[in-house]
Amino acid sequence: MGVVYKAQDTKLDRLVALKFLPPHLVRSETGKARFLQEAKAAAALNHPNVCTIYEIQDAGEPAKKTADKQPFIAMEYVEGKNLREIISEAVPVSAVHVIEYAIEIAKALQEAHQAGIIHRDIKSENIMVNTKGQVKVMDFGLAKLKGSVKLTKTSSTIGTLAYSSPEQLQGIEVDARSDLFSMGVVLYELLTGHLPFKGDYEAAIVYSILNEQPQPVSDLNPGVSEKFEQIVLKLLEKDPHRRHQNTKDLISDLKEIEHIKLSETKELIKPKVSNKKIH
């Protein structure tokens, strides 16, 4: 939620991203409170895979229409591409890269969940990969903070529909496993170039998420290992109790297949040993 500008921090001589509360919400107490909640959620985290917050102009101060008086968040400027852009350029994305992205996304979520923060809007557009190949989880606009006051109706706490968990759509209280479902949608999309749950209109998408099983990953991308497919489909279980129960377990499974993939890669590029003797 907000309008983002690239700016130069003249004091510290660095590029930053400035996120302003949209003008139509400046006079909305709920809008300002939710905007500040986003800043608090991200600022509570200190992790290399989470976009860093540098400064917050408190939304509680009287805001005027001038830009310098609007509530804003100054944050790390991430130069790179989001996963949606990466998917559009290379379908499917290499399984090795997807595993690397998945581990870093899971580590970012682990940091958030341990702080009592549920992101609630994990999607390909909210995950950046910077020019060094490092993942940055962005946009905590729908984040749920432990002990925070509920600011919105249930319907408005749903993130982008196709990435929403069944419990979000049903208005059930969500926990960390909801973020893991959304992450599963992202991984499926990276590996296949398609969303697991689709429809021509909103009600059809909701029905698909609640009632239909996704097409097997291997049908769309035969190069994906059975173990990796099992991880993705487990994340997409409709019953939260059938998913990974926390990011620690997920990271453990991902590192196991990362090790297998690296071993396979090393075997493929293993140099041939010559039988000739060297004198």
Q: Which two tokens stand for residue 31?
A: 């809008």
Q: How many other C-beta atoms lie within 10 A of the C-beta of residue 155?
A: 9
Q: Which two tokens stand for residue 122?
A: 């994990």
- The DSSP H or E segment spanning 73 is strand 72-76
The sheet carrying 80-82 orders its strands as: 80-82, 127-130, 135-137
Contact 158, 149 (CB under 8 A): no
Which is catalytic among the residues 9, 58, 68, 121? 121
121 is catalytic: yes
State the amino acid at position 37 in one-letter form: Q
Q: Which two tokens stand for residue 246?
A: 């926390």
State the amino acid at position 164 in one-letter form: S
> Helix and strand tally (H, E) in the chain?
9, 9
- The DSSP H or E segment spanning 92 is none
Calculate the dihedral angle through the C-alpha atoms of 111, 176, 99, 224, rounding to the nearest 10 degrees.
180
Q: What are phi and psi of 177, to 5 degrees?
A: -70, -20
- What are the catalytic residues? 121
